Structure 1
Amino acid sequence: MQARKKGNAQGIDVSRYQGKIDWKAVKEDGISFAFIKASQGKSYRDKTFIGNAQAARAVGVLVGAYHYVDDSAITPEDARKEAANFVSAIDSAGGIAAFDLPPVMDYESNKSGLSKSALTSVAKAFLQEVERLTGVRPIVYTYPSFIGNFSGLSDYPLWIARYSSTQVPPGASGWSRWDFWQYSDGSAGGTLPSGTHKVAGIAGPVDLNEFDGTADELRTRFSKKPSVPKEEDATVKDGSFQINGENVGKALLFDGKTHVPLRVLADALGIPLRWDNAKKVAYLNNRKLQSVKLVEGTSYVQLRPIAESYGAEISWDAKNKIAGLKTKGDK
């Protein structure tokens, strides 16, 4: 993977262990971004999350939230429950739109002795559920010693931990570059551009990170926000959506991603759907969808994250512009 370079945006990640933080001093010490622990497992919430998120945003630090995947997550269903806890924590701090950076899956432990395929299944279920609930593609955080457990996840942005200023993280599991590098735990590893591990405003050690680019480039890299849907034009209007081989509606492309009618998809998967027409907000299983497109009065959502979260198979016939969905139980 690539080395650190001069001018990269500097950041930290924090939890309750950092205690009281003077975020104004942190910002003035050259820290551009912070990832803040929100949750762990199916129910734990970091008690400092909301306060840290609000205080960091108030002084202009770019903020993201992270969730530690617990060793009790041994099935995809466990992972989806953890994702629900994470998104609920984010909602309590203002919702995903209040955060500058994508949500993060911190997955680094396997005390349950899961196989590599089982670990990947847990990771994939968590990531897909977070994206389904927030409309934002998550980041994967892990260590070089753990990343080899994953397969097929390299299209997610990577935040890698390797405590060194000279030894770059090795490429692995399909990743050949990092977006974020945690280069120090506050004592070992590389130092800030100032030559120290110490960050003003924090009494003890704190993890040090950098983004592969400037602070302005970081804002641009993750600038897309979910919003109240508005009427939009699609890049493809003549595609079709098939469920178990039967045409059921249009398929549209936005930014290269396939979108299909929300109500049709919900009915096919048996997911309870509620639409608040006044606010133009959709709820699946009582969870607000953050990314909905309105075209000619019909609500469209991205097919892949929702379908795969509920065990359905999807396909895309580029030649004929057909999006296909095969529900569970259909042969």
Structure 2
Amino acid sequence: MSQPLYPRRPQRRAKKSRRLLLLALAAVFLVSTAVTIFVAYHAHHSIIKNALGLRNIQVDHVLLQTGSPFYTYEDSGKNIIASPGIDVSTFQGEIDWQAVKESGAEFAIIRAAYRGYETGRLVPDDTFEKNIQGAADAGLQVGVYLYSQALNEAEAEEEADYLLDLIRDYPVGYPVVYDQEEYSAGQTRTDGLSGEQATLNAFAFCRRIYKAGYLPMIYVNTDWAHNMYDMEKLDHYPVWYADYTASPSLPGGFAMWQYTDEGRISGIEGPVDLNLLFLPAE
């Protein structure tokens, strides 16, 4: 019996091999595309490099200990431990910083300046120099904040430059914070500010601070986190979150938590804000 000139079995094998090759190439392309998208997303959304190792975390409420005067928090599984601290301004009056240190505070975020609600003038806090020097001399780590009334990015950058000039001779190793929030006690120059513009302002301020070699941070409360700021556009900066409930939660996480504005500690007459800063455990 004569044999066919072109056997069918090898032809089927060739077609099968080509299909497998095309599938393999398609798989390589999909994996490569996924990796590229992940790297691009990670580069945009990962938190900026910082000497403190801060990152925005989700707090495990089970690990939160609500002691007095300071809360404590430690997550050995994620290598996180919280450092207790305060934030102050002229409203706290005369402060005995050594007593504050002995009460258990490890850091202080000090108001350095603010922009006038109506005039728009940038003004240093009356007690800034005394507070930052006193806190540093007592052995606390110090950071600063500026209360903003910026209408646009140019004003936010002006605020950053003003703040940088104020702190250049002080040992500021902790966050330099942008604080813009609603003032409900009366009319202000920022009434009607859009969430989009507020986000651009915060970004402009932080970019300026980071370029100068400091660690920028953005202060947000629940209202601004959900109704004003586009948090996804700001999520590569550490967030200082004000939430006075027992179970603070923010979709993108936070690096510092202000858990009360009615704290009581030695060295300060009257109420003071208390905070936890989430640091890598050594």
TM-score of the pair, normalised by structure 1? 0.55
The Cα of 1:212 is off from its aligned counterpart by 2.0
Structure 1 counterpart of 2:250? 170
Letter in 2 for 1:121: L
Structure 1 counterpart of 2:166? 89
CA displacement 1:14-70 (0-9 Å, x = unmatched)? 001101100110010111111000011252100211111111111111110111111
Structure 1 counterpart of 2:195? 116
The structure richer in helix per residue is 2
Distance 1:170 1:127 in 2: 20
What percent identity do the matched residue pairs reach? 35
Q: How does 1:1-331 map to 2 (within 5 A)?
A: 1-2=58-59, 3=61, 4-5=64-65, 6-7=72-73, 8-41=82-115, 42-70=121-149, 73-91=150-168, 94-95=169-170, 98-109=171-182, 111-132=190-211, 134-148=212-226, 149-151=228-230, 152-164=233-245, 166-171=246-251, 175=252, 177-186=253-262, 197-213=263-279, 217=281
Structure with the greater alpha carbon radius of gyration: 2
The structure richer in strand per residue is 1
Letter in 2 for 1:88: D
CA displacement 1:76-132 (0-9 Å, x = unmatched)? 1111111111111112xx14xx11202111122274212221111111111112222
Greater relative contact order (CA < 8 Å, ≥ 6 in sequence) = 2
Distance 1:150 1:139 in 2: 14
TM-score of the pair, normalised by structure 2? 0.64
For structure 1, which runs of at least 5 residues remain unmatched after alignment? Answer: 187-196, 221-331
Distance 1:100 1:128 in 2: 17
Distance 2:215 2:98 in 1: 29
| Counterpart secondary structure, 2:173 | coil
Distance 2:203 2:123 in 1: 21
Letter in 1 for 2:236: D
| Counterpart secondary structure, 2:108 | strand
Letter in 2 for 1:143: N
Letter in 2 for 1:12: I
